[in-house]
Structure formats: C-alpha cells, structure tokens
Chains A and B, each alone.
Chain A
C-alpha cells in the first residue's frame, strides 16, 4: 500500500510563473490537507479538502493560491505569479476520515524554489 505521493519533489520557478503541486493520497483516503513549511518555521496548515469540496481554506493566502481535489485524480495546490516568499516546502497529508483520532499521513513534500 503506497503512502502519500507528491510530485514533483523539487520545483524551480521564476518570479511570475505558476507552480502546480500534486498530491495523491493513500489508497482509500478521501481527506487531504496541505501544509507549508517556510525556512526556519514550523509547518503551517493551509487547506483541508474532501473529494470535490474545500472544507477549510483558512490558512491559505487569499490571493494567488488555490487548491482542488477532484473526483478523479490527485489534489492540486496551485500558486499563480509566484514570488520569492513562496519558496518553501509544501507537504500534503491524507486521512481515512475526519476526526481527532484519525491519523494524518504525510507525503515527502515538494520543495519550491522561486528565483
């Protein structure tokens, strides 16, 4: 049973370009969470999605960032017109269900570097 998969593992973009980060949850998991780890900072919650629905996007910047989790295919975190401050590691996690007893399993992360 493969774990959470993220691709690409490393992504380099120039300022103003778009970044698309993909996350395939563990088999059978329908809950996906995105976290961002800025340099020298702890991981910060960005968004929580279920299939075809955004449940909580309170941690996501209001502009340039969007997330989706379609019925088929991976979850996508999209960053438009990237700036240097977007350089960070972006981690995706998935869980079988929602709730405090439901462990979130993390992927290896995508490291975004904006030049």
Chain B
C-alpha cells in the first residue's frame, strides 16, 4: 500500500527566503508525482507534474525534483512571497495494489506561511 509523507507539517519563513518542501513515498513503482497548492476553503491547484522518467520540472519560481528509486521528491520555492502562503500537497500516481494508474495518494501537506 502506497503511503506518502510530507515534512515539515508546517513552515514559517520571512519574505524573500528560498525554501524546500519534502515528500517521500513508500513504493517507488509510480507513474508520476504531482505537487498541488490548496488555499484555505478552496480546491486544489496543480503546480507541477513529474513523470516517472523525469528528474525535475520547473515553473517560474517553482522547481520540483524526483528521485524515484529513493522514493523522494522536493519542491523548491525561490524568493518566497506572502502570496505563496498555502498548504502544499504532494500526490503520487501508482504504487497501489492492482497497479491502477489513476489513483492519487496524497500526503497530509505542508502548511507554508510567508511573513511580509
């Protein structure tokens, strides 16, 4: 059974700081990994999707890396801004019994606060 862990559970940083969020998963037989952003009371916004054959993806100030063999991913946020404050969720597709390629397994998230 796939399990996803995110560390830290919460993070508070001053504006302008670079930061790293961590995600680990127990079964490396994944199809892809996705990072989402969730604002309070809102839905999920997909930030980056990394296929199992890829090592990293970049979008603006965000960079996500994937080390499939060790079961780890990191989300790097450069020059953080107060508007980046949200919960960041990591989700993997795959590694479940039955080999489904559509079930996303989520971590509990990292609550990020960027202070002005």
Contacts and interface: CB of A to CB of B under 8 A. Distances in A.
Contact of B102 (A41, A98, A107): A98
B31 interface: yes
B89 A43 contact: yes
Contact of A103 (B46, B89, B100, B106): B46
A105 B101 CA distance: 15
Given A40-B108, A42-B107, A91 B44 contact: yes
Nearest to A98: B102
Q: Which residue among A43, A58, A99, A105 has the maximum number of chain B CB atoms within 10 Å of its CB?
A: A43
Nearest to A95: B102
Contacts of A98: 101-102
Given A56-B100, A91-B44, A100 B106 contact: no
A109 interface: yes
Contacts of A56: 100, 102-103
Contacts of A45: 103-105
B116 interface: no
Interface string A52-71: 00001011000000000000
Interface of B: 4, 31-32, 34, 36, 41-46, 49, 51-52, 89, 91, 93-94, 98, 100-109
